[in-house]
Structure 1
Amino acid sequence: MKNQFILFFLLMTAGVVNAQNVTGVDSREERIRALVGKMTLQEKVSLLHANSKFYVGGIKRLGIPEWALSDGPHGVRAEIDRDDWGYAGWTNDSATCFPPGTALAATWNPRLAYERGLVLGEEARCRNKDVLLGPGINIIRSPLCGRNFEYLSEDPLLISKMAVPYIRALQSKDVAVSVKHWLANNQEEHRDSIDVYMSERALREIYLPGFKAAVMEGGAYTVMAAYNRYRGDWCSENDWLGRQILRKEFGFKGVLMTDWGAAHSTVKAALAGLDLEMGTDIKDYNEWYFANPLVRAVEEGKVPVPAVDEKVANVLRVMFQTKVLGEGQRVKGKMNTPEHQRAAYNSAAEAAVLLQNNGNLLPLHLDKIRRVAVIGDNATRRHCGGGLSSEIKALYEITPLEALRQKWGDRVKISYAQGYEKRLDWKLIDEAVNAAKQADVAIVFGGLNHDFDTESSDKRDMALPYGQQVLIQEVAKANPNTVVVIVAGSPVELAGIVDRAPSILWAWYGGMEAGNAVADLLSGKVNPSGKLPFTLPVSLAQSPAHALGNYPGRGLKVNYEEDILVGYRWFDTKKIQPQFPFGYGLSYTRFAVSRFSTDKSSYGKDETIRARFDVKNTGEVYGGEVVQLYASDPVCSVLRPEKELKAFEKVFLQPGETKTVEVRVKVADLAFYDDSRKAWNAEAGEYILQLGNSSRTIFQKVKILVK
């Protein structure tokens, strides 16, 4: 019986073995095999499960140290007690806090993703961390998902283009990323019990590309299995996900770990490719699925020894890649440098999206203003410490009110009214209205906080909470020069205020430099250049998952009936007008895009399209534009979205300056996944390339032929 298991396992992993034979076995692999050969079964298993909340035990006699992990997709989390979720009370674990995932994606600037990765890697190493848990790259499928703020976008290409440089930069500092959550963790409601179903086409076109890019282009060293089930099996013991796709298709040779407490079995998980069990249960760590039960499963012949050896080798390989086990001097790291703080500021400033600016109220001309009324709880609230697993003990956090007073206080008189609290309070509204009446400009800081954007629960609706809509309407009635600043990480309903407030700036959770960035954006020191990374619906009912009634699922099962029509793919294809479209964002200057062309008019399926265009700043101030290239396949054998993002470029220009930009798109990337053939299919025929600055604003189109 034991020999049958061994034969089964070797056949199952033949793709990996063959790949190693082709490339040759280097000295690192020889050292890994030598180390594995010196271990007892108990020692091997000790490397495959946690021995505390964020540590994995080492093997002292072999010189293998403990492995230290930390939360931290946008900052290294403060030190946690070894055996509970309390904070350890360190005085030297304050960190740089960046804006979270949706804000990073809103920059549409891969360079900023790379800068963030460098900073996070340096600070993780300074804290002696070996694995940083992030980035989170799940698709934003519903506006209600509590973790939308941690994720990046509704579009797989934007996710990929931002995640890859983040991963490469962070891992260059000898720290492993853990890309999460593998797979289809698109809601927090019932996340630890929901069973997700979708078509193979939706999986391939929408939900896999970010992870594929993270592994195959970014070289991610670890991947975190999600809590949910996928097609009946838990993600931590899903052979299709763990073996067939991650290992064989993507060639992943790193560590597949669980989310905390996401393991459900020993034998099934071991055979499906899980390497490392992490968790939150306070029971004896030796009784976890991948501890003593795994030892017994091997001794009873239920799990072959080669399966355990493969897992240990995966852990050791990541240790070698990050220089935990030698192979050069490891990066020492550094914390809270001026360069780190500048990177956090740049990320916050470049993420902000100017949604509306009627009458060019923004930027504010401080030389013409005497009084400013600052209104709203989010003007004084600090957000870095919220969101559960993504909470950061920031070295500092500048609130908007603090920054406005510091930067503007010598020129204008600034008053403050709270405006709202956790219920509709007319006394607070009246105070805000009185402040607005006495001011030249009223600035309302509203939106959400981490009572709503948080791990473990989803929002109930898209409404602005605490009576904010009434507050904004009353303030705008009292002062027509009202600016609304939205602080949030996921879509909120703005229908009740877009016709009342002339200017709306979406500032996200801005991290430690939030206030400084917002103040500079409002004054015009910085020109907004962010673009929405998701579609902002008029109402929740417009969103595909909710329009079709398949959120959060029925009977702990959810079927993604919208299929490939996620986000703007749904809105554009169904001709539904959102509040603001995907990719949208205004500027204090103007841009002209012209001379859109391709290097050829006809392409073979293995060729690459080279598209060129000119971008000119026709306004009066320096600014940045994100030019977006979409593709359409008007005549196809299957339903295709009205358009799909295929490339983008962020261009910064001085007034009057023109730049010629070239972007490249592989013809293969125009393909759809053909369920009938179980393969990608770029059908011959005509395609339309569309150039614009949102999914709904297209400047020029070019037709090409695929032979």
Structure 2
Amino acid sequence: MKNIKIKYATTFTIVVLMFANVSAQNKSELLLQSKISGVIKKMALEEKIAMLHGNALFSSGGVKRLNIPELTSDDGPLGVREEIKRFDWNSANWTTDSATFLPNGSAIAATWNPEMANKYGVVLGQEANARKKIVMLSPAFNICRMPLCGRTYEYYSEDPFLNAQLAVQSVKGIQSQHVAACIKHFAANNQEIDRGEINALIDQRALREIYLPAFKAAVQKGSAYTIMSAYNKVNGYWCSENDFLLNQVLKKEWGFKGIVMSDWGGTHHTAEAANNGLDIEMGSSGPYDQWYFAKPLLEAVKAGKVSEKMIDDKVRRILWVMYHTSMSTGHPAGSIATEAHGKAAYDIASESIVLLKNEGNLLPLKTDKIKSIAVIGDNAIRTFASGGYGAGVKARYEVTALAGIKARFGKTADIRFAQGYKANYKASNSDEQNAGYDKPDRVLIADAVALAKTADVAILCIGSNREYESEGHDRKSLELPFGEQALVNAVTAVNTNTIIVIMAGAPYDLNEIKKSCHAIVWSWFNGSEAGNALADMLAGDINPSGRLPFTFPATLHDSPAFALNTYPGKERTTEYKEGILVGYRWYDTKKIDPLYCFGYGLSYTRFTYSGISTDRKTYKTGDKIDVMFKVKNDGKIQGKETVQLYVSKVKSSVSRPEKELKAFKKVLIAPTKTATIRISINVNDLAYFSEKQNKWIVEPGDYKILAASSSKDIRQVAEIKVMR
């Protein structure tokens, strides 16, 4: 008896010592895992299986007996979508589900400001709570590999580093409200055409350097709770059952603790998906008990094809997410479509607008001299909160361009409107039904010309809309739709004071417009406050600070996927022949001049760079490179400059891009003042991925640190050496 007491005391002491040597956070995690284990032990196999598949369009099963609620989810890249019926896509006709329309993904990327991404996430999380949604299917940040992708507007940029910085903050913002962010689409969903069938062949280096870094950052730095597998295959295996992506990389290498859920209808097998990393199967229609992860999964477990230990791991992950969200203590009540949320949408929109051209300083508009304004174009009166196949928002309100311009300039100027073109295109229509959408409407153009002749200034609102850029299909060309080029030509011929405002989420062919027009503004699908932000920018109340998050090619065939004839693929396979040379990496390395380069954007003031230096000249692996330089505002108004640091390896032993973005910072500088910029780069971030050695390698030798205003506008250069 005495020996038993001694053994018990010793064991107790060991446990106490173990807890004494772990942090409070780890203690909490150990206690949570113990709690989850206790819950799982009480569950029957059938109850566990019921948690692993959808039981309605946007929910998966709970266990009522054990007070485990359903896991509810909702679309979210543009805001919490309107309530739909439980078992079909028709509106539930609620009167309390109007939400804030947030700027689209590429608009957020154009801010080049992680603070704006966080602000976006907080609003989304608060509005999700108000609607009792636990998982928000956002953010979406697949790499913009080629410009025609129908979801480019929803994604972020062509650069993995920029994507990562924004994704981390978006995730943190959402999850600060005890709502799970669902990062998507994992991985390489870079085209919509054939997305449910296409096999993307991507070498390991390109995967590791281009397509995975933002997901890794969102998991390891953002602590994302859920992730959505993509529709496509990667290297021969469906993303929903891709052992390399889901088990080897995501769960083992990155230590992901949360849930992998399928895209809706993106599951193809039972045992393969269960064993290779999928946790929840979601879809769009019943019968739900016949899905791969319903009765067939139960049968697979009983037949020994899937272990119950594997099922327990999936349930453990779901409960882990729930204890951080719906079953968490102090869960926020949330709020929706508030004034504060509208202000957040305005702030993001304000920083996203890109000034592409401003010849003769036409902008900002001189309100004391302008007595009449012609506002022309269907996009001046169009809203963008919904449309096409992509998730939309039943916006509480959306300020159009015309409404914003009237509110800002209407007291001092006569403002009149002409439609100019018809946007007669529907994403749900066939090509035959959409025939003629690209033809100019001569009657509407004549009306626009007549109005433009009489105005001091014409503001011509063109571009795309949510029908034309849509999930489920890609555009066929870079041409502006709806005969808009003819409208531009006609209006600018009669009024040289024409400002072109383009509302779109992806690159278009602006060659003619760039040559002939004096002022060009890019304004995105910019949320509930889009019209007000645009008008304030035109008036000079906002100094434009947006920068392009992707390259605009001069011609479609300059883009790597088209130059190498890899899009849309053959026999349901597309080979990513360009490897790591995506976006500006391709254009810079191949010496191809784009129409507009990555990171480009003008301001109403001018910035000069000087005095770049580094804290040392030589570094080794694990060190931090501290870079310092000065940026002066040479103008008369304050402005925000986005300083970009690129790194170039001198005489690399392996193929590399000419330069790669490794840091950036957005700074507000008062007129005539100089800001001292300090930015750090980790030497380890200079590594390339060696397929031969299957690891990251920091190559010793000489490097250039390039301080730039865009990928083509290098202002200062410093040289360093990395030692072995």
TM range (shorter): over 0.9
Relative to structure 1, the CA distance from residue 580 to residue 505 in structure 2 (aligned partners, 3 Å threshold; closer, same or farther) is same
CA drift of 1:23 comes to 6.3
Gaps of 5+ in 1: 1-18
Aligned to 1:7: none
Aligned to 1:525: 541
Aligned to 2:292: 289
Aligned to 2:313: 310
Q: Within 5 A, what are the aligned runs for 1:427-576?
A: 427-576=443-592
Deviations 1:423-471 (CA, angstroms, capped at 9, x unpaired): 3111111111111111111111001111221111100101001111111
- The letter for the 1-side match of 2:472 is S
CA drift of 1:66 comes to 1.5
Q: Within 5 A, what are the aligned runs for 1:349-368?
A: 349-368=350-369
Aligned to 1:676: 692
CA drift of 1:617 comes to 1.2
Q: Within 1, Cα distance between the matches of 2:647 and 2:476?
A: 35
Which of these residues, 636, 639, 644, is aligned with residue 620 of structure 1?
636
Q: Within 2, Cα distance between the matches of 1:36 and 1:420?
A: 61
Relative to structure 1, the CA distance from residue 151 to residue 387 in structure 2 (aligned partners, 3 Å threshold; closer, same or farther) is farther
Aligned-residue sequence identity (percent) comes to 49
1:37 aligns with 2:25: no
Give the TM-score taking structure 1 as reference length. Answer: 0.96
Aligned to 2:610: 594
Q: Within 1, Cα distance between the matches of 2:501 and 2:554?
A: 18
Gaps of 5+ in 2: 1-21, 425-438
Aligned to 1:330: 331
Aligned-CA RMSD value: 1.3
CA drift of 1:271 comes to 0.4
Q: Within 1, Cα distance between the matches of 2:389 and 2:396?
A: 18
Q: Within 5 A, what are the aligned runs for 1:72-471?
A: 72-281=76-285, 283-322=286-325, 324-326=326-328, 328-421=329-422, 422=424, 423-471=439-487
Deviations 1:305-364 (CA, angstroms, capped at 9, x unpaired): 100000000000000111x224x2211111122111100001111100000001110000
- The letter for the 2-side match of 1:325 is M
Which of these residues, 586, 600, 613, is aligned with residue 584 of structure 1?
600
Q: Within 2, Cα distance between the matches of 1:386 and 1:621?
A: 39
1:363–1:522 Cα contact (<8 Å) kept: yes
Q: Within 2, Cα distance between the matches of 1:145 and 1:383?
A: 18
Q: Within 2, Cα distance between the matches of 1:158 and 1:538?
A: 23
1:398–1:514 Cα contact (<8 Å) kept: yes
Give the TM-score taking structure 2 as reference length. Answer: 0.93
Q: Within 2, Cα distance between the matches of 1:97 and 1:347?
A: 12
1:113–1:165 Cα contact (<8 Å) kept: yes
Q: Within 2, Cα distance between the matches of 1:127 and 1:23?
A: 32
CA drift of 1:675 comes to 1.4
Q: Within 2, Cα distance between the matches of 1:77 and 1:128?
A: 12
Q: Within 2, Cα distance between the matches of 1:559 and 1:100?
A: 29
- The letter for the 1-side match of 2:102 is F
- The letter for the 2-side match of 1:544 is P
Q: Within 1, Cα distance between the matches of 2:327 and 2:112?
A: 37
Aligned to 1:48: 52
Q: Within 1, Cα distance between the matches of 2:515 and 2:236?
A: 47
Q: Within 2, Cα distance between the matches of 1:389 and 1:266?
A: 28
Q: Within 2, Cα distance between the matches of 1:367 and 1:180?
A: 48
CA drift of 1:55 comes to 1.1
Deviations 1:589-608 (CA, angstroms, capped at 9, x unpaired): 11112121110000011101
SS of residue paired to 2:577: coil
Q: Within 2, Cα distance between the matches of 1:667 and 1:410?
A: 56
Aligned to 1:3: none
- The letter for the 1-side match of 2:321 is V
Deviations 1:212-263 (CA, angstroms, capped at 9, x unpaired): 0010100000000000011111100110111000011110010000000000
2:650–2:701 Cα contact (<8 Å) kept: no
- The letter for the 2-side match of 1:176 is A
CA drift of 1:67 comes to 1.5
* Deviating more after overlay: 382-391 vs 181-190: 382-391
Q: Within 1, Cα distance between the matches of 2:648 and 2:206?
A: 17
SS of residue paired to 1:676: coil
Relative to structure 1, the CA distance from residue 387 to residue 658 in structure 2 (aligned partners, 3 Å threshold; closer, same or farther) is farther
CA drift of 1:661 comes to 1.6
Q: Within 2, Cα distance between the matches of 1:700 and 1:671?
A: 23
1:528–1:587 Cα contact (<8 Å) kept: yes
1:386–1:392 Cα contact (<8 Å) kept: no
Aligned to 2:703: 687
- The letter for the 2-side match of 1:58 is G
- The letter for the 1-side match of 2:546 is G
1:71–1:389 Cα contact (<8 Å) kept: no
1:634 aligns with 2:650: yes
Q: Within 2, Cα distance between the matches of 1:34 and 1:306?
A: 14
Q: Within 2, Cα distance between the matches of 1:118 and 1:387?
A: 26
- The letter for the 1-side match of 2:123 is V
Aligned to 1:57: 61
- The letter for the 2-side match of 1:499 is K
